[in-house]
Amino acid sequence: MNLRSKLAIAFAGVGAAAAILVGVFSYQAASQRINAELDRSLLTTSAEVAAGATQILAPSPVTRGPDDDDHDEAQPMVAQAIAPDGTVRPIGGRPVHLAVDGEDRALAATGTLGDHRYQDLTVAPDDYRVITVALGPGRGALQLGIDVDESRHVLGELATRITAVSAIVLVAAALAGWLLARQITRRLVRLTRVTEQVSDGRLDDVAVPTGGRDEVGRLATSFDRMLGRLADARADQERLVQDAAHELRTPLTSLRTNASVLRRFAELTPESRARLLDDVDGEARELTHLIDELVELATRRYEAEEPAPVELHEVAERAAERVRRRSGRAITVTADASTVTGQGKALERAVSNLLENAVKFAPDGPIEVDVRDGRVQVLDRGPGIGDDDAARVFDRFHRADSARGQPGSGLGLAIVRDIALAHGGTVFAEPRPGGGAAIGFTVGADLLLPNSHPRHVDG
């Protein structure tokens, strides 16, 4: 059963329940009102009959309808007197004998003037509402009955009408529920079709029905944004796979070439053997490094780290110390007390990648790290960056023409960009006055915590 049918049934059930409850309460109220009116009429009439006005017991004819030839009585009555000794004497009205029980005789024998009781009696084929009223000591009691068939006929018609109205309300509620459910679920149905298309692998040519400010509209808008991100991620993944396949061909081709040369290892001179083994070892290291970079870039392992307060000067110092040990280069760190809410290991990795890039492309001269107000930049005195390369230096696998022969995966600065974006910042690469390059990243201002004093560290 779909959602539309469930909503229609729910509306019908609620409407039917409301109609039935209203009908039951209405019927009970009408029945109690009619019975109370009968009892009041019996009490008033019994007082008049006791005073001698027996003419009110005479039947009053009423015509049932144009198709009826006979006349009947309107609320016909019957009256009889009960002597103190229990004997019964008819007074007027219908020639019907009403049954007298012990309570009635007790009222006639010992009842105080005005004491009375009500009861329901059946004298086939009619039903009567009966009142027995004590006339005082030694005077007996008066028993008066009124035919209630007409009243019950009225209540029966009322019950029939209530049932009919309840049925109409049920049908109307079901129809209204179906129409309303159709209106509510129309966009959900379209959104469901879209999700089914997405589950079949379609992302690019799927149109999400957005619009509206209600929950369905917000759901559609959120799903459209999510779908857009999925499409971008899929396209990015495909580009990464294509670029990785292209970049992996170079070391693999070199390794295959060296492997074919190794088949003639015995024919090589000792110098050629040493160069060949060094070449194989270097290509293997480059391949391992490339695979590690690809795995980290594809899985974004640095995003799993929980954000915490991070002092950027400590991050820069740790990264600089690590690169100093590896390269033996002098690295100067100048930093203020910028503190951000971020991922410490990821930020340290970003600074390390910037420093390794500077060591690779600036083999001589000092390397400086400058941290100011959430802005981290690495400055070198290398060949610098051309205008054409500055805009693409952070792209995956991009290499400038002057760096084609340099080792590396071409992914280090791409990881820096991803880490900067994850921290609400940007990346930049620009020529350094006097020669060299200034490459770095910023952290979002909303993540930057108040800083205190500047500091200077030389390495």
263-298: per-residue pLDDT in tens? Answer: 887 777 888 888 878 878 777 776 776 677 667 666
351-373: per-residue pLDDT in tens? Answer: 988 998 898 888 888 899 999 98
80-94: per-residue pLDDT in tens? Answer: 999 998 889 988 888
DSSP string, 354-383: HHHHHHHH--SS-EEEEEETTEEEEE--SS
125: preceding bond cis by omega (within 30 degrees): yes
Q: Which residues of 122-140 are buried (b: 16+ CB within 10 A; e: fewer)?
A: ebeeeebbbbbbbbeeeeb
Q: Return the amino acid letter for 176.
A: A
Neighbours of 160 (CB within 10 A): 10
**Cβ atoms of 441 and 428 closer than 8 Å:** yes
Helix (H) or strand (E) holding 430: strand 427-431
Could you tell me the pTM of the whole model? 0.45
What is each CA distance from 323 to 4, 90, 371, 409, in whole angstroms? 65, 126, 17, 18
What is the structure's pLDDT at 294? Answer: 67
What is the structure's pLDDT at 130? Answer: 92
Closest CA to 133 of 205, 199, 46: 46
Beta bridge partners of 441: 376, 427
Positions in the chain short of pLDDT 50: 62-65, 67-73, 403-405, 407-408, 452-459
Go through the chain and tell me how many residues it has.
459
373-396: per-residue pLDDT in tens? Answer: 899 999 998 888 777 677 778 887
End-to-end C-alpha distance for the chain, whole angstroms: 73
Phi, psi (degrees; rounded to nearest 5) at 29: -65, -45
**Cβ atoms of 345 and 364 closer than 8 Å:** no
What is the structure's pLDDT at 387? Answer: 72
What is the structure's pLDDT at 31? Answer: 86
